[in-house]
Amino acid sequence: MSLVVIGTVAFDAIETPFGKTDKIVGGAATFASLAASYSVKPVKIVSVVGDDFQQSDIAMLQQHGVDTEGLQVKQGEKSFFWAGKYANDLNSRDTLATELNVLATFDPIIPDSYQDCKYLMLGNLTPQIQRLVIQRLVNRPKLIVMDTMNFWMDTAMDDLLETIQMVDVLSINDEEARQLSGEYSLVKAARKILALGPKFLIIKKGEHGALLFHKKQVFFCPALPLEEVFDPTGAGDTFAGGFIGHVAATDDCSFENLKRAVIHGSAMASFCVEKFGTERLLNLTNEEIQEREKQFSDLVRVEEVLA
């Protein structure tokens, strides 16, 4: 069994109502691989950074069981950089800066040691590059999970649809599901999107939880009502990484097990938002994670009425 995660490894500068950071390590592959590393090791990442990326940052990933052989380091170039500022309710954010840098010419090279890939997480990237990774794997993985965003719906819909057709699980948020399907009802949206190819659709609703659709079945996982949401950055990537990490660790792609993966991913995401960037994901214990998962099931539990 081998889990491969592709996505950005980058620098973020984040401002929330609770504080702001200078450049800190972020990126979809960073959040996803750290989240997955609590379920399975190694997590093999495919990404690219510039020589401004610190050796200590790479070491941090490696210490969490992340295999960085597929992480290209471009000398004389700079890493992808995103700066954003969140509104007071944390539900909307303004992008202050997006510097593609090394991402502009990213050619995802798959090391031979990654060719045993059984589970593939395609973090948010251009759909062409996501597709290229699938094509460069000698054997088709058992399960391919794809995360994407509205930006590609606006700018590269044909490419996006071509890639969506090749994956097993698509993970997007509710607004993106509505945009992709042209349907306001998430039930109708899910039906149209599943017809595009994926066997499973995850619709993320942020503070309102997540829906998992498969054929005519639907599962709802609530979001934990939190005291504090400090920084939502990376929550979706953390969810996706936790999700595929659970599936890879259990090696079970049944709808029933994918439900548990959604709960696990939601639990991981609920940690992510408690601190800036990846901070909260660096030192979790299995006990904390299990306790958090228990809170999710307790939240919706109702005792059966005794007849």
Report in angstroms how near the CB of residue 53 gets to its own copies at its nearest. Answer: 35
Residue 105 or 185 with smaller CB distance to its own copies: 185
Task: Check residue 184 for interaction with its own copies (CB under 8 A).
Answer: yes
Question: Binding pattern to its own copies, positions 48-77, x when CB under 8 A?
Answer: ------------------------------
Which residue of 55, 56, 75, 88 would you call a contact of its own copies, by CB under 8 A? 88
Residue 162 or 207 with smaller CB distance to its own copies: 207
Which residue of 186, 194, 247, 249 would you call a contact of its own copies, by CB under 8 A? 186
Selected range binding its own copies among 92-100, 122-130, 276-284, 292-300, rule: CB under 8 A: 292-300
Which residue of 195, 305, 306, 307 would you call a contact of its own copies, by CB under 8 A? 305
Report in angstroms how near the CB of residue 210 gets to its own copies at its nearest. Answer: 11
Question: Which residues, 92 to 131, sit near its own copies by CB under 8 A?
Answer: none
Task: Check residue 302 for interaction with its own copies (CB under 8 A).
Answer: yes
Residue 9 or 212 with smaller CB distance to its own copies: 212
Which residue of 63, 98, 128, 185 would you call a contact of its own copies, by CB under 8 A? 185
Query: What tokens appear for 136 in the block?
Result: 């460069």
Task: Check residue 208 for interaction with its own copies (CB under 8 A).
Answer: yes
Task: Check residue 259 for interaction with its own copies (CB under 8 A).
Answer: yes
Selected range binding its own copies among 30-38, 49-57, 150-158, 185-193, rule: CB under 8 A: 185-193
Residue with tokens 């909307």: 92
Cα separation, 68 vs 46, in Å, equals: 8
Task: Check residue 211 for interaction with its own copies (CB under 8 A).
Answer: yes
Selected range binding its own copies among 62-70, 97-105, 141-149, 213-221, rule: CB under 8 A: 213-221
Task: Check residue 1 for interaction with its own copies (CB under 8 A).
Answer: no
Backbone CA torsion sign across 181, 186, 190, 192 = negative
Q: What is the DSSP string of the chain?
A: --EEEES--EEEEEEETTEE-SSEEE-HHHHHHHHHTTTSS-EEEEEEEETTS-HHHHHHHHHTTEEEEEEEEETT----EEEEEE-TTSS-EEEEEEE-GGGGG------GGGTT--EEEE-SS-HHHHHHHHHHSSS--SEEEEE--HHHHHH-HHHHHHHHTT-SEEEEEHHHHHHHHS-SSHHHHHHHHHTTS-SEEEEE-GGG-EEEEETTEEEEEPPPP-S-----TTHHHHHHHHHHHHHHHHT--SHHHHHHHHHHHHHHHHHHTTSSTTGGGSS--HHHHHHHHHHHHHHH--PPPP-
CB-CB contact of 152 with 159 (8 Å): yes
Neighbours of 116 (CB within 10 A): 14
Cα separation, 194 vs 199, in Å, equals: 6
Which residue of 139, 303, 306, 307 would you call a contact of its own copies, by CB under 8 A? 303
Task: Check residue 78 for interaction with its own copies (CB under 8 A).
Answer: no
Residue 125 or 186 with smaller CB distance to its own copies: 186
Report in angstroms how near the CB of residue 196 gets to its own copies at its nearest. Answer: 19
- Binding region for its own copies (CB under 8 A): 88-89, 184-188, 190, 205, 208-209, 211, 218-222, 225-229, 256, 259-260, 263, 297, 299-300, 302-303, 305
